[in-house]
Amino acid sequence: MIDQTLSDALTLRPDGEGGLIARLTGEFSNAPISMDQNKGAPFGGLMAALAAGAMRQGLGIEARLRSLTIQYLAAVRFEDAVFTPVMNRGGRNIAYASVTGGQADRPAVQALGTFGRDVTGPTLTPLTFRARPLHDLEPTPLDSSFGPWFTRHIDHRFVAGPRLYGENAGQSPELGCWMRTIDAASLDEARLLFLLDGLYPTYFTAFPAPPVISTSVDLRADLLGELTPDTSPDGWAYFHFTSRDVGGGWAVEDGVAHAPDGRPIALVRQRRKLMPTRG
């Protein structure tokens, strides 16, 4: 049973003091479905989408989001959280904004956003798109003993299986997957940010079980193409993630998202802190 829809989770309401309130529930916990929701915290992709939404809504920004950089300071509780945006510098063609979010006694995230309008100039899109077509693939939901609660809001279709627990050992640690949110809404800015953090760490495919758990420290997303209702009317996008470096208790992972017609629409880089393991 779904207790809160994604549209509800993305809704921000003014607090009357310049901030915007989001209702955070365990429905979007990053804890495994096999565990109590309260063992986890609100999913990082949701927090990124809320941070961007708070800047846009609270500051009245209409230009496209070009980049979002978010730091995850602490895990917030499953209750109302306030996002307070600030316009650092606004202009005709580009605007720089920031936002802090969390509860009064627990700052949870801080983020920077760059917004700007298109102007006439040269075009170069070297990112390639070679995934298996969506219609060739069956739905592949994550196992409930492993998949977090928030993944109940995502349709996954892996192009070569989940590749978990060493299937990529000795090979490139990468993973390809078509994803959309289960409401099948057309892909928009918030849903794209949500999905850019919608899979487990790619290094899970390189190492044997049990998985080395990590927490997200920071994430940067660069949105490349304009998102209109025609970009992906059914919400699908293809995501390809690669582990770039794992060592010393840290991991760096990159990802690229493509619209169904092959156009690149986003890049993402995420820094993770690995939890200590017993030898």
Q: Which domain holds residue 169?
A: 6-117+137-274
pLDDT score of 278 more than 80: no
- Residue 124 covered by a domain: no
- Residue 93 covered by a domain: yes
Instruction: Give me the torsion for CA of 170, 171, 173, 177, rounded to 10°.
Output: -140
- Residue 175 covered by a domain: yes
Total of domains in the chain: 1
Mean residue pLDDT of the chain comes to 95
- Residue 125 covered by a domain: no
- Residue 241 covered by a domain: yes
Task: Tell me the per-residue pLDDT of 196-217, one tens digit each, with 9 for 90 and over.
Answer: 999 999 999 999 998 899 999 9
CATH of the domain at 266: 2.40.160.210
Q: Which SS3 state, helix, strand or coil, does residue 196 take?
A: coil
- Residue 127 covered by a domain: no
CA distance 188 to 227: 6
Task: Tell me the per-residue pLDDT of 133-161, one tens digit each, with 9 for 90 and over.
Answer: 999 999 998 887 889 999 999 999 999 99
CA distance 60 to 79: 26
- Residue 1 covered by a domain: no
